[in-house]
Structure 1
Amino acid sequence: MNHLRWPLFLAAALFSCQLSAQTQFINRNDLLGPDKHFSGVAIAVLDMNGDGLDDIARMDQGFYLTVAYQTAPNQSFVSSSGIDMDNGSQWGMCAGDLDNNGFPDVLTGGAYDGIKIAMANTGGTAFDLLTLTGPGTFVQGVNFADINNDGWLDAFVCHDDGASRIFGNDGAGNLVYQPLWIDLATVPASDNSGNYGSVWSDVDNDGDLDLYIAHCRQGVSSPTNPTRINQLFLNNGDGTYTQDVTNASGLRIGAQSWTADFGDIDNDGDFDCFITNHDVTSQLLENDGAGHFTDITIAAGLKDSVTGTPIQGVFRDFDNDGYVDILVAGSRSHLFHNNGDKTFSRKSGLFDNNDIESFALGDLNHDGFQDIYAGYAEIFTDPSNTPDVLWLNTGNDNHYFGLNLRGVQSNRNAVGAKVILYSELGAQVREVRAGESYGIMNSMQIHFGLGQISAIDSVLVFWPSGIVDTLKQGLALDQYLTVEEGGCVIPQVTAFSTGSTVICSGEEVTLFVTDAYKQYLWSTGDTTATITVGDEGNYSVTVTTNEGCSTASSVVRITVDPVEIPAITAIGDSVFCAGGFVELVSSAASAWQWNTGDTTQSIVITEPGSYYVTTQGLCDQFESAAIEVTVLDSPVPLTMNDTVLLQTPATLTANGGQVNWYDAPVGGNLLFTGDTFMTGPLTADMTYWASATTVYDQPNEFVGMVNHQGSTIGDPQVNGAIYFDCLTPFRLSKVKVYADIAAERKIDLLNTFGQVIQTKTVFIPSGSSVIDLGFDVPVGQNLSLETDAQENIVGLGTYGPQLYRSSQSVMYPYTIPNVVRLTSSPFGLNRYYYFFNWEIDYYEHTCTSDRVPVSAVVDTINGTSMPGWAQGLSVYPNPGNGAVTVAFGDFEGGDLNISLLDVRGARLSALHKEQAAGEGALYLDFTAVPKGMYWLELATRSGVVRRKLVLH
């Protein structure tokens, strides 16, 4: 490094370090819409439509390419329709404007599945897919770079199993295989394999692009094996390249290196190097300004700081303090903050403490801070069950400065351009790259964090063509400028509206930009300074200055007749027992009109019925879906009092559900559960209280596609899912599946945040079968039912579960009103994955009635004349089945008349018996008597005794 170039370096570093703020990120997936995305390793962030805003190009399940377009800061992204880049997860991805039509094209590749290009049409509204002609390739890192500096982007593709591939641009946007452009052979000779991460950068600071390849070769243990030695190819400036075989650079490293990145850690105007390694510590190397590197890993505090298996490592200034930080991802993720003195400190507590596996970087809310679009694939490129996350940088009060570069003689994206910004922080240097680290693409915007400085001295732009533009005017802090090769500089252009951008039919809004320009070309085709529009859509204008410089404005989104259907949320269960209630709450609106007549945002419901609300939207009234409220009866039990003699137990009865007996009308003690309650011997009247509990069990229902339809062939590397909303808790009892292969599968239920909340491993035979799940499903949106990809790999050898999915007659949503709604799959509305004919088991509802009094009356008049032998009398079992024992403690002896009476006192049967005096027993058979309550009467010359007898 050149330590003498900037004497203010040390003071500036300390100044910035003192003022730097803690970097934080917030999950803003809400800006991307409700659909979850599951990326592999390959992700891209760049401006895909030329409006100066970074967009997200991502491949769901690793191959289904869509673009999420940024519309305005912190506003919802607009997603494009998708295109299948293949049917398996891709390993590498980069983007750039191959045909110089103003819209980037996307290159991807996987394991010997062809190198594909999605070519953007002339309007950037769609892609045409083509496959390059060339040898089979196990694609790893990929880049676009103008290798022969003819003004057209070429492609470089790392190959795991042999020499990397170069494809030259023919000047019309077509890529042609060029194996002779650079001699990529290792020294000493080998099979030239192990090419993992590649980066094109001006390593030796001589003004042209050099190539560095990080090498890793599994199964090769020696660090001197050429397949493990990183390669540096220095650009000779005449279209030829020379490999550094003597290690003059210090970059011929024999570790198992996965990636390399170049960035200026100390603002001295040259690129230092960070390398992720798998077998030894990852390394930070310092550039002396001429391309000679010294390992400063230990001094920087980074020795053994990178843990796990790193597969991405990139320099970016995340806190805008003016010094590039290092972000690492893989099996573990780390953010190392640049302290401004060539040392780094690990930042903790980021990203909800979840490890990011891969990422792409850019300014995704146009606030001047670097954001992260994170993927959570399994190492290395198998999409996991964790959805991608848009992590927006919360920022601080540090300043920034940014450039959007547009080549004229150079390639349109200015890939390979180098920019140096001079200020009291030193000489900060950045490059435009297309494809970095391991198969990812970061923003092509030039971004400088500036800490707390007050002014920029100058900015130099070194174009690939050799043109150098010096900028000294208009360099205000906290802005993005568009710079066209040759010196055209246009500040960021913002399109405005005269009023609200949400209007009703028949209304119009005027769009304009504040400054005057020579020419205007709106996306509508209009060429006036202002336009008036009344149709829904995205609007922007390309302006041209008097100097002939052109740039596109920000996008204004016009919404016409917004659909504002209210949603009702039930606070509590909408099925409840009599005496209960549920609160129904409408979504926000200017006014509410319930079908009950209420005009408040929420209402309390105690009666059964169907309830809905009408709200006033901007342009119309909207009626919600109805929510059904069910009130379950809680009938009191039917009871029977009892009258007994003194010192005799009473038998009290009640019917209706499960009967509980208490000694108080409220609270008190639970005495007994059952229809018949026998008290102890009574000496006075007593009152007891009975309640009835009724259990309601709703019959099971079914939802979802009943049977498989369409092709049985699905990609074995795709792990599909069903996304659904749960409106009322239920148990997912069973589902039907169709299997190619008999094997165990692990079924996972995921919540809104992509976390597994229930799981079950089941053996699924080949063919059709119904499997028991028994998942308790909570209320929530965007839940997911899917299989565990890692278990699939272990048990089946494939990422997917090899279960059938429907490709025909799929008609989302599948709904049980107010209970569940199956909404979509990871691949949209035309695929139904794996789980057919869901059986929904509803939870029981238990309703308990009010307590009612039941009386036990003691007959003191008759009780005083009871015969003496009654004191030792017992009748059992009672209640019983009719086989009755009558036991005497001290019978008087002689005649005993035995009668069975009904509850009204009518005599049903009679028996005369001589019973011996003293202790004894007799046995009576009433098993043929119908169930019910009866009186058993025993009479002798000294008196009559009755006992209540219950037969069941």
Structure 2
Amino acid sequence: MVFLIRGHSPSLTCLQPMLQKIAFTFCIAWSLSACDLGSKTVQFADVTAQSGISFTHTNGAAGEYFLIETTGAGGAFFDYDNDGDLDIYLVDGFDLQGIRSVPINLVYQQGDHYWVREPNQDKGARSRDAAHYAVALSPWPDSTDVPPRNVLYQNNGDGTFTDTGQESKTGDTGYGMGCAVADYDNDGYQDLYVTNYGPNVLYQNNGDGTFADVTEQAAVGASQWSTSVAFLDYDNDGELDFYVTNYVDFTVETNKVCGGYVRTNSQGHRAIVEATRSYCAPLEYGGVPDVLYHNNGDGTFANVSVAAGINDPSGKGLGVIALDYDSDGDQDLFVANDGTPNFLYQNLGNGKFGNAALAKGVALNGIGESEAGMGVDFGDYDNDGDFDLFVTNFSYETNTLYRNEGVFFKDVTAVAGLADPSHRFLGFGTNFLDYDNDGDLDLYVANGHVLDKIALFQSGVEYMQEHQLFRNDNGGSYTEASSISGEWFLHKQISRGAAFGDYDEDGDVDILVNNCGGEAKLVRNDGGNRENWLMVRPVGTHSNRDGIGARVRVVAEGLEQIRQVRSGSSYLTASDPRLHFGMGSRTGVDLVEVRWPSGLVQRLEKVPVNEVLIIEEKVGSQ
């Protein structure tokens, strides 16, 4: 069954897209920064104030330099009330005022000098309480105040949003990290999983605007330091499973003093000057195995991590995506690890996974080094029919673009023009998106450093940083377009999670950003819909209802594009589950092909552009 939902038509005449491209090409040739195309180029506008979104993230910083203060939080675009437009969920942290502990590497403090043991002299943890106990003990300053909570905003359909308050019952007050969205029980309503520094939470959508906390009965409330989540049907049984990345083995009881040191004494103790004290690197702490939950089909899940072969304790996972990188019909997993080799878990088809990252060329960068992986996304940026990978990394590294060569991946960051522009930035949220609807995938990166005093240690690097937008130059390379794409890109922020979706239903991709310790931002794409577009939303019947894992191929007047339905990507976030295709000046789609997780293949011909196409899985398709 197929449904067409009428979209908005392009506002320009047929000649204007061509003139826009000519002008943009001229601008690229003569320097982007010197060229002002005004309304002829796509502009991104901060519309937070007029949207009704009023959310400030709490990182809880209180001068103790707890590592959890650095990671920030994410959010989601999703349609929780099934009214056809995207609502917003934002994850908050917790106030850490009052939590104190003596750093385990501290010998003594002398004036403004901290004398600390060398790393191999650490005494180790004295009392490793579960992370959530430390957070739960934090005294809220005034009992009459309302503690920070996660917030669900309902889309009013007119560009504004309303805080649902406590009515939706999704206002978790833990130290929040990320979230993912999926209809895990196949009842037609989107459910929500929230990761925390401490117990995670599963909210089941009741279908009446409220959610129920079913964490305990579903057996999914692990209390590690969890970060990103990806829903997937790894065994293709029609029930959605999910993968949770865990970061490092840290509690306030194992906090350390880190920073620039000025000298070492005869006992091997280092002196760290208070003015240079900052957050420790993750290498100071051990990794924690990730978790794979199998859906039992009765509202409960089983932790199958060990049996599935994904319980590697060396990982320090921050980002995860589920994708079929080898085009064999089942879902694989890529995990971006912070400072340790990335994981690429190849689905072996028997309930088990094998880590193929090193063999496939994505464990390290092109010169054989581990990087500090943060956010991750996949897409077919070169339109060659397979999925490539993009990972955001630390400053003085580069973000990394891995091109899928069929048998293995190749680091093509430099040749694609993405190395030098990312060198001084620390990237988190990211997305392959066609922001200008021209038919190829561009790149967006939300930046912001983790070290408040980074300027003391790395020349030219700042704590607050601009975001970056890279325009795809027809499949082979990228050119940074930030400077011509609106004042939004002039603002320096400490950004973390970034979600992407068409919240105003006008045919182009907008952005939601959660800033660490700062205001969340809603950013509207103005002008992307001057070119034509198509959005596809598969609805499974034999496959999982969300169609997660379905691969969609769209052919239009010689242009062929592929996408895959996913839940969970970027960094700590969930984006619009509908698949967005830019069509350029093409006025019709020759073919839409859906390869469902069930193995069914469905084809539609002669599809109009500028529509949201809902395709229901038809049993009996070839």
Aligning the two structures, in what range does the TM-score lie when normalised by the shorter sequence? Answer: 0.5 to 0.7
* Identity fraction in percent: 28
Q: Deviations over 1:751-770 (max 9, x none)?
A: xxxxxxxxxxxxxxxxxxxx
Q: Does the 8 Å contact 1:96/1:144 carry over to 2?
A: yes
Aligned mate of 1:280, from 359, 376, 397 = 397
- Structure 2 unaligned spans of 5+: 1-16, 25-39, 59-71, 95-147, 248-286, 449-464
Q: Does the 8 Å contact 2:440/2:475 carry over to 1?
A: no
The change in CA–CA distance for 1:122 and 1:173 in structure 2 (over 3 A counts) is farther
- 1:68 corresponds to which residue? 153
Is 1:45 the counterpart of 2:77 in the alignment? yes
Q: Counterparts of 1:97-136 in structure 2 under 5 Å?
A: 97-111=183-197, 113-128=198-213, 130-131=215-216, 132-133=219-220, 135-136=222-223
Q: Separation in 1 of the partners of 2:613 and 2:619? A: 12
Q: Does the 8 Å contact 2:44/2:523 carry over to 1?
A: no
Q: Separation in 1 of the partners of 2:20 and 2:588? A: 14
- 1:299 corresponds to which residue? 415
Q: Separation in 2 of the partners of 1:481 and 1:470? A: 13
Q: Separation in 1 of the partners of 2:18 and 2:477? A: 12
Equivalent residue letter for 1:242: G
Q: Of the two structures, which has the highest relative contact order with CA contacts closer than 8 Å and spacing of 6 or more?
A: 2
Q: Separation in 2 of the partners of 1:362 and 1:34? A: 16
Q: Separation in 2 of the partners of 1:172 and 1:19? A: 57
- 1:195 corresponds to which residue? 317
Q: TM-score, normalised by structure 2?
A: 0.68
Q: Counterparts of 1:727-766 in structure 2 under 5 Å?
A: none
Aligned mate of 1:309, from 413, 420, 426 = 426
Equivalent residue letter for 2:591: S
Q: Does the 8 Å contact 1:313/1:329 carry over to 2?
A: yes
The change in CA–CA distance for 1:236 and 1:133 in structure 2 (over 3 A counts) is closer
**Shift in Å at residue 274 of structure 1?**
1.1
Q: Does the 8 Å contact 1:43/1:359 carry over to 2?
A: yes
Q: Counterparts of 1:12-31 in structure 2 under 5 Å?
A: 18=22, 22-30=41-49
Q: Separation in 1 of the partners of 2:357 and 2:382? A: 28
Q: Separation in 2 of the partners of 1:231 and 1:387? A: 30
- 1:459 corresponds to which residue? 592
Q: Separation in 2 of the partners of 1:294 and 1:34? A: 41
Q: Does the 8 Å contact 1:168/1:176 carry over to 2?
A: yes
1:374 aligns to what SS in structure 2?
Answer: strand
2:91 aligns to what SS in structure 1?
Answer: strand
**Shift in Å at residue 446 of structure 1?**
0.8
- 2:503 corresponds to which residue? 364
Aligned mate of 1:261, from 365, 371, 377 = 377
- 2:514 corresponds to which residue? 375
**Shift in Å at residue 77 of structure 1?**
3.0
Question: After alignment, is 142-151 or 346-355 more displaced?
Answer: 346-355
Is 1:91 the counterpart of 2:177 in the alignment? yes
Equivalent residue letter for 2:499: A
Is 1:329 the counterpart of 2:446 in the alignment? yes
1:114 aligns to what SS in structure 2?
Answer: strand
1:460 aligns to what SS in structure 2?
Answer: strand
Aligned mate of 1:212, from 319, 334, 351 = 334
Q: Counterparts of 1:395-410 in structure 2 under 5 Å?
A: 395-410=528-543
Q: Separation in 2 of the partners of 1:237 and 1:34? A: 44
Is 1:168 the counterpart of 2:287 in the alignment? no
The change in CA–CA distance for 1:84 and 1:121 in structure 2 (over 3 A counts) is closer
Q: Does the 8 Å contact 1:100/1:173 carry over to 2?
A: no
Q: Deviations over 1:423-445 (max 9, x none)?
A: 23532111111111221111100
More strand by share: 1
- Structure 1 unaligned spans of 5+: 1-12, 218-227, 378-382, 490-952
The change in CA–CA distance for 1:136 and 1:269 in structure 2 (over 3 A counts) is same
The change in CA–CA distance for 1:425 and 1:48 in structure 2 (over 3 A counts) is farther
Q: TM-score, normalised by structure 1?
A: 0.45
Q: Counterparts of 1:362-511 in structure 2 under 5 Å?
A: 362-377=501-516, 383-384=517-518, 386-424=519-557, 426-473=559-606, 475-486=607-618
How much is the aligned-residue C-alpha RMSD, in angstroms?
2.7
The change in CA–CA distance for 1:229 and 1:330 in structure 2 (over 3 A counts) is same
Question: After alignment, is 13-22 or 90-99 more displaced?
Answer: 13-22
Q: Counterparts of 1:864-943 in structure 2 under 5 Å?
A: none
Equivalent residue letter for 1:89: Y
Equivalent residue letter for 2:601: V
Q: Separation in 1 of the partners of 2:539 and 2:89? A: 20
4+ long deviations beyond 6 Å: 13-16
The change in CA–CA distance for 1:246 and 1:15 in structure 2 (over 3 A counts) is farther
Equivalent residue letter for 1:369: D
Equivalent residue letter for 2:90: R
Equivalent residue letter for 1:50: N
Q: Does the 8 Å contact 1:425/1:450 carry over to 2?
A: no
The change in CA–CA distance for 1:285 and 1:49 in structure 2 (over 3 A counts) is same
- If you compute each CA radius of gyration, which structure gives the higher value, 1 or 2? 1
Q: Deviations over 1:619-654 (max 9, x none)?
A: xxxxxxxxxxxxxxxxxxxxxxxxxxxxxxxxxxxx
Equivalent residue letter for 1:371: D
Equivalent residue letter for 2:165: S
**Shift in Å at residue 140 of structure 1?**
1.6
Q: Separation in 1 of the partners of 2:307 and 2:154? A: 36
Equivalent residue letter for 2:302: V
**Shift in Å at residue 96 of structure 1?**
0.7
Aligned mate of 1:353, from 487, 490, 493 = 490
- 1:807 corresponds to which residue? none
Q: Counterparts of 1:795-806 in structure 2 under 5 Å?
A: none
Q: Does the 8 Å contact 2:236/2:330 carry over to 1?
A: no
Q: Does the 8 Å contact 1:85/1:129 carry over to 2?
A: no
1:106 aligns to what SS in structure 2?
Answer: strand
The change in CA–CA distance for 1:462 and 1:251 in structure 2 (over 3 A counts) is farther
Q: Separation in 2 of the partners of 1:114 and 1:15? A: 54
1:304 aligns to what SS in structure 2?
Answer: helix
**Shift in Å at residue 135 of structure 1?**
5.0
Q: Separation in 2 of the partners of 1:407 and 1:239? A: 22
Q: Deviations over 1:776-803 (max 9, x none)?
A: xxxxxxxxxxxxxxxxxxxxxxxxxxxx
The change in CA–CA distance for 1:276 and 1:387 in structure 2 (over 3 A counts) is closer
**Shift in Å at residue 97 of structure 1?**
0.9
**Shift in Å at residue 275 of structure 1?**
1.5
Q: Does the 8 Å contact 2:428/2:445 carry over to 1?
A: yes
Equivalent residue letter for 2:378: F
- 1:145 corresponds to which residue? 232
The change in CA–CA distance for 1:192 and 1:34 in structure 2 (over 3 A counts) is closer
Equivalent residue letter for 2:89: A
**Shift in Å at residue 413 of structure 1?**
1.0
Q: Counterparts of 1:586-665 in structure 2 under 5 Å?
A: none
More helix by share: 2
Q: Does the 8 Å contact 2:54/2:520 carry over to 1?
A: no
Equivalent residue letter for 1:77: F
Q: Deviations over 1:389-437 (max 9, x none)?
A: 3434443420000112211111111111111111235321111111112
Q: Separation in 2 of the partners of 1:26 and 1:135? A: 39
**Shift in Å at residue 342 of structure 1?**
1.6
**Shift in Å at residue 345 of structure 1?**
1.3
Equivalent residue letter for 1:388: K
Q: Separation in 1 of the partners of 2:19 and 2:603? A: 27
Question: After alignment, is 416-425 or 233-242 more displaced?
Answer: 233-242
